Amino acid sequence: MQELPHHYKIEASAERDGDTALSCDKLGTIPCASPAEFGGPGNRWSPETLLVASIAGCFILSFRAIARASKFQWNSLKCDVEGTLDRVKGTMKFTKFTVHATLDVPQDSNEDLAHRLLEKAEKTCLVTNSLSGDTQLDARVRKTS
């Protein structure tokens, strides 16, 4: 890991109508629009869906790093994140994020350790640590062959 602080720069541009283009050096451009809930087309990434996707990606990458450091063997991890947007004291904000994770592990795995590592990933995710909404983890560990 590089020394802190890290800096991330995203550029956004738009015309009067149409998508907003999000871009970053060395990455492709992402078309962005309001979600259907705000009258948008509903078929583009929105700031809301990108935020929730960031939590899912951060959770899995955090787990991967923690499992590697712990020398824990696992097969696959599926993560669904639900973000709840609500009005609080006249301001719209995300109030809750629920991370539903299913971890598939080899038959001889220690399930208690697997749960502890999933919980550690949830607690160390820098994205959720940067947000004010509550985060809950709903984790399942399945032994697979």
Q: Which of 47, 22, 54 is nearest to 129 (CA)?
A: 54
Q: Which of 112, 131, 109, 130 is nearest to 120 (CA)?
A: 112
Distance of CA 137 to the CA centre of its chain: 12
Q: Which of 79, 120, 126, 68 is nearest to 103 (CA)?
A: 79
Q: Considering the chain, what is the average pLDDT of its residues?
A: 96
Contact status, residue 34 vs residue 46, Cβ threshold 8 Å? yes
In a domain, 39, yes or no: no
d(CA 9, CA 103): 33
In a domain, 29, yes or no: no
The range of the structural domain enclosing residue 98 comes to: 47-144
In a domain, 79, yes or no: yes
Contact status, residue 93 vs residue 83, Cβ threshold 8 Å? no
Degrees to nearest 5, angle at CA 93 with 88 and 98: 110
In a domain, 106, yes or no: yes
- What pTM value is reported for the model? 0.93
pLDDT of residue 56: 98
Q: Is the pLDDT of residue 145 over 80?
A: no
In a domain, 129, yes or no: yes
Q: What is the average pLDDT across 60-84?
A: 98
- State the CATH number of the domain containing residue 78: 3.30.300.20
**Residue pLDDT, tens place only, 17-67:** 999 999 999 999 999 999 999 999 999 999 999 999 999 999 999 999 999
Q: Which of 53, 41, 42, 46 is nearest to 20 (CA)?
A: 46
Domain count, the chain: 1
Q: Looking up tokens 């004291």, which residue turns up?
A: 89
- Non-local CB neighbours of 141 within 8 Å, separated by 6+ positions: 102, 103, 105, 109, 111, 114, 115, 118
